[in-house]
């Protein structure tokens, strides 16, 4: 798959005198479109699996011959063997592609770049382009570029990196100060406004908006409740399966517990708890809105049946499913199924083939990232248009699905801290016991509990939430009530009084 975004439409050079284009490995496209008498699609797929080349691996192709350019492709293959996910592999490839495009415009190339070229690229990205990136984004780019040139040095293709190393081998172009997490949380009033008005199509007064059309309001509400109630990342809750949330024949219903792994960040497994109210919100979507989507899309899925994973058996107790994919019977642990596989997983339902994922879009399968992004963008526009004196104050920046995860973390952390800080004698005694015994501290410490629930690699990440557990907005309002907005004296009157005092010799 070619990607013109990497070099912004400008041909680049990965080696002197070689114009290249950036592409990515896409096994699905190979299987569907490869037509060659020399080698079959099945042979190519088998070769990719045997060599450990993952989907998303960046490939730099000679623009004239469309053959791989050796050194950048070797670096891309090294990324693939690091078992990075598809999105990360593509991001890393685009970063090198963007640098390549910048160097080409200035008459250079990747292999002959010097320190001033990389500094110029940094300034372009962080200061001069139409939408400059921040320290966090540049930190990622500088890391990738340092890794790329470090790989070439280790391979012997270059004698040294174009950028000298700082003390202790640190990347000199990396941001000097580590950027903190961009924690943006919602109040209860803001969340209800986002969910019910923005996503659910209501008016601020809770009336039904008859002009609201489309957008699957119950799906949006269920997604927001799932995100807030469980604290999952978007890529964890968006591809959730019906059996995982208990919406499957023979399951008791109520709250749900399951394990996320393949869809989790870094593939780190953890247990997820979805409260009963969030499951009920999803169940409402399944009863009222999902059937119409499924019925309309059933015929289209039937035509694509050979490309889908048709489930024939669901083992709820064991968390496994068995079905047919590419004409072969396969069995998977649900937690180990990546989003790409979940997207094509279907079963024989009431109306024909039906997606096994909870959330479905107009085509009958799981909505992609663009669909969910468009959903929240439309919701934000609607909320701004309907905002008035009675609506909660909107954030300065457009909300994100990840804000619901931050809200979950802060609400849970504040609740657990309040429980630990209770005034009852037995709770006070329990707090002293937790300080005294390491096992009690690990089991009952609010910060560690939230860290485990969020799946953070280190509790250090969770520490950053502490500064937000006390929302001081209301306290600020009270503290400065007599400073600003005083009905008895305007600023002009105060300034006039001050000037008169000055003229009087004070």
- pLDDT, tens only, 261-293: 999 987 888 899 999 999 999 999 999 999 999
Helix (H, G, I), strand (E, B) or coil at 497: helix
Same domain, 361 and 257: yes
What letter does residue 2 receive in the DSSP assignment?
Answer: B
Q: What is the pLDDT of residues 323-373, one digit of tens each?
A: 999 889 999 999 999 999 999 999 999 999 999 999 999 899 999 989 999
180 is a domain residue: no
Does residue 403 lie in a domain region? Answer: no
Same-domain check for residues 239 and 342? yes
pLDDT given at position 506: 47
Across residues 310-334, what is the average pLDDT?
A: 94
- Are residues 89 and 143 located together in one domain of the fold? yes
Measure Cα distances from 330 to 29, 311, 319, 349 in Å: 21, 9, 14, 20
Segment (H or E) for 273:
strand 270-274
| pLDDT at residue 19, rounded to an integer | 65
Does 327 map to a domain? Answer: yes
* Count of domains forming the chain: 3
**Is residue 407 assigned to a domain?**
no
Write down the pLDDT at residue 38.
Answer: 82
Average pLDDT, integer, range 109-127:
90
**135 and 235 both lie in a single domain:** no
Q: Are 200 and 160 within one domain?
A: no
User: Which of 309, 337, 371 is where one domain is finished?
Assistant: 371
> What local confidence, expressed as pLDDT, does residue 201 receive?
87
Do 209 and 335 have their domain in common? yes
The SS3 call for residue 410 is helix
Rounded (5°) CA angle 164-169-170? 80
Residue 446 within any structural domain of the chain: no
Q: Say if strands 328-333 and 320-325 run parallel, antiparallel, or are unpaired.
A: antiparallel
Backbone angles phi, psi at 120, to 5 degrees: -60, -40
> What mean pLDDT comes out for the span 167-187?
72
Reference 72, options 135, 160, 2, 13; nearest CA is: 13
Pairing of strands 345-349, 309-315: parallel
Q: What is the pLDDT of residue 492?
A: 57
**What pLDDT is stored for residue 109 in this prediction?**
84
Is there a single domain that holds both residue 163 and residue 303?
no
Whole-number CA gyration radius for the chain = 28
SS3 46: helix
Bridge partners for 18 per DSSP: 15
| pTM of the complete model | 0.73
Q: Are 147 and 91 in contact (CB under 8 A)?
A: no
Final residue belonging to a domain, choices 312, 337, 371: 371
Asked, for residue 56, whether it belongs to a domain, the answer is yes
Does residue 216 share a domain with residue 74?
no
Cβ-contact 406, 231 below 8 angstroms: no
Q: Are 362 and 214 members of one domain?
A: yes
Residue 383 lies in a domain: no
Reported confidence tier of residue 214, pLDDT bands at 50, 70, 90: low
Do 150 and 47 lie in a common domain? yes
The pLDDT of residue 467 is: 62
Q: Which of 72-81, 90-99, 177-186, 395-404 has the lowest mean pLDDT?
A: 177-186
One domain for residues 198 and 158: no
Determine the structural domain holding residue 75 and report its residue range: 12-169
Same-domain check for residues 160 and 53: yes
In a domain, 226, yes or no: yes
Q: Among residues 371, 400, 427, which one ends one of the domains?
A: 371
């Amino acid at each position: 798959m070619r990607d013109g975004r990497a070099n912004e439409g400008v041909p680049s050079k990965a080696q002197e005198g070689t114009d290249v284009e950036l592409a990515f490995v896409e096994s699905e496209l190979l299987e569907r479109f490869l037509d060659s008498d020399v080698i079959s699609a099945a042979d190519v797929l088998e070769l990719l699996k045997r060599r450990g080349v993952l989907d998303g691996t960046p490939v730099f192709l000679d623009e004239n011959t469309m053959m791989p350019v050796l050194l950048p492709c070797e670096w891309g293959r090294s990324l693939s063997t690091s078992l990075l996910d598809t999105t990360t592999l593509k991001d890393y490839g685009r970063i090198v592609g963007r640098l390549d495009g910048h160097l080409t415009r200035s008459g250079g190339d990747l292999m002959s770049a010097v320190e001033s070229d990389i500094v110029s690229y940094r300034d372009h990205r962080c200061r001069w382009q139409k939408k400059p990136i921040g320290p966090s984004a540049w930190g990622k780019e500088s890391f990738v570029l340092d890794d790329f040139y470090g790989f070439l040095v280790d391979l012997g293709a270059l004698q040294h990196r174009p950028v000298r190393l700082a003390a202790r081998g640190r990347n000199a172009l990396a941001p000097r100060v580590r950027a903190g997490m961009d924690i943006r949380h919602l109040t209860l009033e803001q969340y209800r406004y986002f969910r019910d008005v923005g996503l659910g199509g209501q008016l601020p007064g809770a009336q039904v908006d008859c002009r609201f059309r489309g957008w699957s309001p119950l799906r949006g509400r269920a997604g927001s409740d799932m995100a807030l109630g469980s604290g999952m990342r978007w890529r964890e809750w968006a591809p959730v399966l019906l059996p995982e949330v208990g919406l499957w024949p023979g399951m008791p219903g109520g709250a749900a517990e399951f394990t996320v792994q393949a869809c989790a960040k870094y593939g780190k497994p953890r247990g997820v708890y979805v409260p009963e109210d969030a499951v009920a919100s999803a169940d409402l979507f399944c009863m009222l809105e999902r059937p119409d989507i499924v019925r309309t899309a059933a015929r289209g899925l039937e035509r694509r049946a050979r490309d889908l994973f048709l489930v024939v058996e669901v083992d709820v107790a064991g968390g496994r499913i068995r079905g047919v994919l590419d004409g072969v019977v396969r069995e998977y642990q649900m937690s180990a199924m990546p989003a790409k596989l979940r997207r094509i997983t279907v079963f024989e339902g009431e109306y024909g083939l039906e997606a096994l994922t909870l959330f479905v879009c107009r085509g009958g399968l799981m909505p992609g990232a663009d669909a969910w992004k468009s959903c929240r963008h439309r919701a934000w526009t609607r909320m701004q248009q309907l905002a008035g004196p009675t609506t909660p104050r909107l954030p300065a920046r457009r909300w994100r699905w990840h804000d619901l995860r931050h809200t979950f973390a802060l609400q849970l952390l504040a609740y657990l801290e309040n429980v630990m800080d209770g005034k009852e004698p037995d709770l006070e005694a329990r707090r002293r016991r937790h300080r005294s015994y390491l096992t009690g501290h690990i089991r009952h410490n609010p910060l560690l509990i939230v860290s485990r629930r969020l799946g953070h690699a280190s509790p250090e990440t969770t520490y950053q939430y502490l500064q937000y557990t006390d929302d001081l907005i209301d306290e600020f309002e009270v503290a400065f009530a007599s400073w600003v907005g005083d009905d008895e004296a305007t600023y002009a009157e105060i300034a006039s009084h001050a000037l008169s005092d000055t003229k009087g010799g004070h």
